[in-house]
Amino acid sequence: MTDREIPRSVREVVDHYRKATQIPCAIIDTRQQRLTENVCSLCHFDQVEGCPWQERCTALHVDSARMSERFGGSYVYFCQHSLLFWISPVLKDGYMEYAIVAGPVRVVGSDELLEEFPHVENGVKEALTGEIENILRIDVSQTHSLSEVLRMCAGWASGYAEHRMVESRTSLERQTRFSESIQDLKNREEEEGGSSLGYYSIQKEEQLQEAIRWGERDAAQEILSGLLGHIFYVSGNTVERVHFRVMELILLLSRAAIQGGASEEDILEISYRCQREIGYYSSLNGMLDWLSNILHQYIDMVFAFKDAEYGTVIAQALRYIHQHYQQNITLEETSSAVSLSPNYFSHLFNARMRISFSSYINQLRVEKAAQLLLNSKASLVEIAGEVGFEDQSYFSKVFKNITMLTPGQYRKRPGRFPTDTHEIH
């Protein structure tokens, strides 16, 4: 293999990464399963009969390249001698043609590495020690950042294929959350003596609807993964039952998106399409990715509506408020989040929302508290703290001013917070 066979972009990444980090860097041709150059000088000190050290090293790096493609573009690993490497794939037309490997580095002292070569004769140990000392030592906390920089560089060399690696990583994160939710359910059932978990809580549904209404992608995705995990767990992997429950969940997403302002006609069209497509999916991960894509379509529609209704700046501020209302959020902090001065932001907020910033925060917190009063057995002190009030007496005063009832009276009274969409205007 000659340098002319390797794309210029890949060679440039290796050259600049090596110069910037002072860490050895090489290219793997994954089709020919060959390294462009030897990246480690220690393996020839540890010969294994019938298995040349070059073959052992190359096989390790090629296998790790496949792992990096699978796990979204980055993989960190140790070799058999406790030296650290990280690797990223370079994709062309959706396939991995090359991979870039960085390392070795060491994260332990030279004496500890010498112990990895117990069969080296005393006359050779001096040379081995010299080679070990020449290997850069780094703090293990740097590894993640160094591997992420390499992933980004490899993504640039891949062109459009970086998007594919991001999708792989996102899918893996979804599957991890999904698996964790199922494990949590198993643990709960064991703690409760094998009792059936039945339907998931109404509170979870409301949290998901609220996240969709305000375009909170991460929160919505986490709740969705938990609800879907519950569906699979309690349905006993019966495909027909799972499909039925998932369609219920899609109707829930649809209602939330419509309440968030998305076009009812567009949402109904997606819902009809889902009824046709759901039969194509029987695997857990395939359905999770499919449902997550639908979720993000709905959130995009809500984003577009909010931006059109309130203006981009106020819509961004409202999303920030809904994400941080449980904290001691201030007008100055919120105005900084949307890159406006506090005075101008306050004027713009009052004009657009027809309510002051502090009044909006109080109404939002009271709305959240009302939901907790109806759907949980938490004490008033706990609820006050949960929604961002530091003092229970002040919470009770604000609550009564807005609802005309004390929190205790509201909890005993059937019904919900007096708003159709749970959205303050």
pLDDT 10s digits, 132-148? 888 888 887 888 889 98
- 32-38 long-range Cβ contacts below 8 angstroms, 24+ apart: 32/1, 33/58, 33/59, 33/62, 34/1, 34/58, 35/61, 35/101, 36/1, 36/3, 36/6
Cα–Cα distance, 395 to 248 (Å, whole number):
36
Distance CA(190)–CA(146), nearest Å, equals: 42
- pLDDT tens digits for range 275-318: 888 887 777 777 777 888 888 888 888 877 777 777 778 888 88
Query: What is the distance between the alpha carbons of residues 385 and 401, in angstroms, rounded to a whole number?
Result: 19
Task: Report the alpha-carbon distance of residue 86 to residue 79 in Å, rounded.
Answer: 10
Q: How far apart are CA 85 and CA 103, in angstroms?
A: 5
Q: Alpha helices of 22-142 — where are they, by DSSP H?
A: 53-70, 110-114, 122-133
Question: Which residue is associated with the tokens 């002051």?
Answer: 356
Residue 404 is classified by DSSP as: S
Q: How many other CB atoms sit within 10 Å of the CB of residue 99?
A: 26
User: pTM, whole model, 2 decimals?
Assistant: 0.49
242-186-280 Cα angle (round to 5): 20
Residue 199, helix vs strand vs coil: coil
Tell me the helices (H) and strands (E) count for the chain, helix number first. Answer: 18, 5
Among 41, 141, 61, which Cα is nearest to 101's? 61
Is residue 253 within 8 Å of 271, Cβ to Cβ?
no
- Here the tokens at position 365 are 């917190």
Kindly list the structural domains of the chain, giving each domain's residue range(s) and its CATH number in brackets, ordered by start: 3-159 (3.30.450), 167-302 (no CATH), 313-412 (1.10.10.60)
Residues in the chain: 425
How confident is the prediction along the chain (425 residues), in pLDDT tens digits per residue? 444 468 888 888 999 999 999 999 999 888 777 777 776 766 666 654 444 556 777 888 888 888 888 777 788 888 877 788 999 998 876 778 889 999 888 887 777 766 766 666 666 667 777 788 888 888 878 888 899 899 988 888 887 544 555 556 666 666 666 677 667 766 766 666 655 555 555 777 788 888 888 777 778 888 887 787 777 776 665 777 788 888 888 888 888 888 888 888 888 888 888 888 888 777 777 777 788 888 888 888 887 777 777 777 888 888 889 888 988 889 999 998 888 888 988 998 988 888 999 999 999 999 889 888 887 788 899 999 999 998 888 999 999 999 898 988 888 875 544 443 344 43
CA-CA-CA-CA torsion sign (318, 324, 327, 328): negative
Give the H/E segment covering residue 77.
strand 75-78
